[in-house]
Amino acid sequence: MLRITDARTGETVDAVRARRGLTRVEAHVERDDLSALRVLLVADVLARALELGGTPVVTVADPPAALRARAEALGIRRAEGERGGAGPALHVRVSAGQDPAVPEPPDADPAPDGARVEVAPVSGTADQALLRMILLATPRRQPLDLDAADLDGARETLGRWRKAVAGWATRPSRPVPEHVRQELRAAWEDDLDVPAVLEALRRVEHAEDIPDGARFETYAYADRLLGLELTRDIGTQW
């Protein structure tokens, strides 16, 4: 079961209810900047993680038009819900970290049985094609300066993985090894630890006991969470 740190209390809480009731994930953004884009990305990945666990999700966001366009270019799915909709089983609000010197508005908290997820700010610039990878590789509560990030490393890893997946796709299919599936799920269900998911994929890439067909299925499965288009180059190089 996915558990997430509630920024209001610092405690880890369930992000789903018993009987898999609807979870409402609301991304709270007001400006068009990289920090707001990171908020939308975290909300998107949180919704993907819940869906992979079989939990029905409605995502809610009302970003400025320019930010919405940037989000869609980054592979962030468009929110389908509306603010003030019918009360769901659980409400998770994703927002930028609050400046302690600035009081929150009265309606800043979700419902009493909900949770608030904070996302640290982002500064600097980076190639749009690499931005999702770099953001996913950095813990969400860690401030990120893109000018100091390892852009070359991100570019090399993303390109290598897409090429490898295209090659593995030509091999006989094999199921995702159960211990790998459990490792991936344990990572993202532990406070949405996406960097740990990426580390697990690096181990799978070099594991001698995993056949190529199983590597392909593993990467395709993990990409349902990551949204990195790891299968994009299938059929283009062979």
CA distance 95 to 98: 8
- Biggest alpha carbon–alpha carbon distance for the chain: 58
pLDDT higher than threshold 50 for residue 63: yes
Q: Of residues 103 and 203, which shows the higher confidence score? A: 203
Q: For 141-188, where are the E strands, in sequence order?
A: 144-145
Contact between residue 75 and residue 54 where contact means Cβ atoms under 8 Å apart: no
Amino acid, single-letter form, for residue 74 = L
pLDDT higher than threshold 60 for residue 108: no
pTM for the structure as a whole = 0.89
pLDDT in tens, 117-166: 999 999 999 888 899 999 999 999 999 999 999 999 999 999 999 999 99
Q: How far is CA 183 from CA 51, 164, 186, in A?
A: 17, 21, 5
* pLDDT, position 103: 39
Average pLDDT of the chain, as a whole number? 88
Q: Of residues 235 and 166, which shows the higher confidence score? A: 166
Amino acid, single-letter form, for residue 119 = V
pLDDT higher than threshold 70 for residue 190: yes
Share of the chain above pLDDT 70, in %: 87
CA distance 202 to 198: 6
pLDDT higher than threshold 60 for residue 172: yes
Amino acid, single-letter form, for residue 68 = R
Which class is 152-226 in CATH?
mainly alpha
Q: Where are the domains of the chain?
A: 3-127+137-147, 152-226
Q: Which of 22, 99, 98, 31 is nearest to 60 (CA)?
A: 22
